[in-house]
Amino acid sequence: MKILAIETSCDETAVAILEATPNVKVGAGGSKRDPKFRVLSHIISSQVKIHTKFGGVVPNLARREHEKNLALILVQALKESTLYKRAPQGATSAQRQEEIAAILEREQDLFAHLKKIIVPLAIPDIDAIAVTYGPGLAPALWVGVNFAKALSCLWDKPLVPVNHMAGHFYSALIKMKKEKDAWKAAYKKISFPALALLVSGAHTELVFIKKHGDFQIIGQTLDDAAGEAFDKVARMLGFGYPGGPAISKLADSFRHPDPSADGEGSQTQILRSAQNDKIYFPRPMIASKNYDFSFSGLKTAVLYFIRGIEKTHLIKKLRPAIAREFQNAVVDVLVTKTIRAAKEFSVKTVTLGGGVAANEMLRRELARAVKKELPDSNIRFPDSSLTGDNGLMIAMAAYFCGKKTSPDKVQADANVTL
């Protein structure tokens, strides 16, 4: 089965084509437990350069870029996967074209592209079109959803709406392998029940998963998401969007002071004490009995600390120490609560997903804690190329728990939960 997946929930325009072959020998009824995957195409076009100067993702700019790029990326994906063929002229009826025009009524540029470069193609050999319908930025989601609906209508293929956070969960179960020039994707088997820590720019969730598709959120952030806190602290320290990579790089650059460095002035004192681990930021809700999170107080603590040293002009020198302690605080809270939940729910697998899963310290500490405190459980991380938003994770989620739906029933839903 070949799944074409489209992801436009935020600032990446992503298209993937995944071929899945279920292993019929395992389990009853052609089990999905041990499928073989082949990545026919996996394209991510990032808009990050466009949004950086605004300090965050601007929804209408994201929408415009998706609209500009989607049809072109789809053509590229079809070519890559050798599913690209031109059709004899006039293969699409006028009525079909009118239906598509109605679906893309608000995406006139996208409609024009589609008409010019997609309509002349032969129907590709795919079995379903998966699309992220939420959560995310509404204007960005709508472009992807309407594009997928138009394709579904044009090619007569079923549509599978996918929850973006389910995609982030499945990103931990794909192992990318390049063989010769082709990507293979090994499926990392998972034992249920599982617990997923999903940490992205807009979400921080602990999700209990009994089996494929059976998600239960047991805790989430009450205010800022972990990624959002990284982005905001990065901005306070003078870095652009996205802030996560900048903070983790800074934190890694931290060095304890050279004990032979001399100087007794107040500046040296402040610098020394900061570099001697004397900066301390709170670990909000680390001891609370529930599995919720809160990162807004931590962000404010960083802000007050920065204001407190403003007059010393030491901010540049202290940036690595601040970043390190901030990252320590976030990782401490995330790891502590994940381990506690994993124990209480007796899970067999802990998984990590979402943009913040790129954070090396979080990966390291979570792996260490699972090994030490839950020696009978496994841990699954996404490959570093799959931590951000991508189409493959949407295709995987569609394969394992998607439901084919008629296009007129699919709507973007910016606030949908798992």
Contact positions vs Zn ion (CB under 5 A): 200, 389
Q: Residue 234 CB, nearest distance to ligand KG4 (Å)? A: 7
Q: Residue 226 CB, nearest distance to ligand KG4 (Å)? A: 7
Residue 242 site contact among Zn ion, ligand KG4, none (CB < 5 to 8 Å, cut-off depends on kind): ligand KG4
> Given candidates 35, 161, 355, 391, which one binds ligand KG4 under the rule CB under 6 A?
355
203 touches 213 (CB < 8 A): no
Q: Which tokens in the block code for residue 70? A: 């989607």
Widest pairwise Cα distance in the chain: 83
**234 vs 241: CA distance, rounded Å:** 8
Between 9 and 349, whose beta carbon lies closer to ligand KG4? 9
| 382 is an interface residue for ligand KG4 by CB under 6 A | no
Q: Residue 200 CB, nearest distance to ligand KG4 (Å)? A: 3
Number of residues assigned to the chain: 418
Which neighbouring-strand residues pair with 217? 207
Q: Residue 170 CB, nearest distance to ligand KG4 (Å)? A: 13
Residues 1-30 close enough to bind ligand KG4 by CB under 6 A: 10
Do the bridges between strand 36-46 and strand 128-134 make them parallel or antiparallel, or are there none, so unpaired? unpaired
> Given candidates 35, 144, 161, 388, which one binds ligand KG4 under the rule CB under 6 A?
388
> Given candidates 130, 359, 370, 410, which one binds ligand KG4 under the rule CB under 6 A?
359
Element (H, E) at 70: helix 59-80
Q: Residue 411 CB, nearest distance to Zn ion (Å)? A: 19
Q: Residue 230 CB, nearest distance to ligand KG4 (Å)? A: 4
Between 35 and 355, whose beta carbon lies closer to ligand KG4? 355
322 touches 306 (CB < 8 A): yes
DSSP characters for 288-337? Answer: -SSS-B--HHHHHHHHHHHHHTGGGT-HHHHHHHHHHHHHHHHHHHHHHH
| 231 is an interface residue for ligand KG4 by CB under 6 A | yes
Q: What is the 3-state secondary structure (H, E, C) of 212-267?
A: CCCEEEEEEECCCCHHHHHHHHHHHCCCCCCHHHHHHHHHHCCCCCCCCCCCCCHH
**337 vs 329: CA distance, rounded Å:** 12
Q: How far is residue 131 from each of residues 7, 64, 81, 123, measured CA to CA in Å?
A: 6, 18, 19, 18
Q: Residue 330 CB, nearest distance to ligand KG4 (Å)? A: 8
| 356 is an interface residue for ligand KG4 by CB under 6 A | yes
| 65 is an interface residue for ligand KG4 by CB under 6 A | no
Binding mask 201-230 toward ligand KG4 (x if CB under 6 A, else -) reads: xx------------------------xx-x
Instruction: Give the contacts of 288 (CB within 8 A, at least 6 positions apart).
Output: none
Find the part of the chain contacting ligand KG4 (CB under 6 A) among 77-85, 238-246, 290-298, 344-352. 238-246
Between 248 and 377, whose beta carbon lies closer to ligand KG4? 248
| 248 is an interface residue for ligand KG4 by CB under 6 A | yes
Residues within the interface to ligand KG4 (CB under 6 A): 10, 200-202, 227-228, 230-231, 242-245, 248, 354-356, 358-359, 388-389
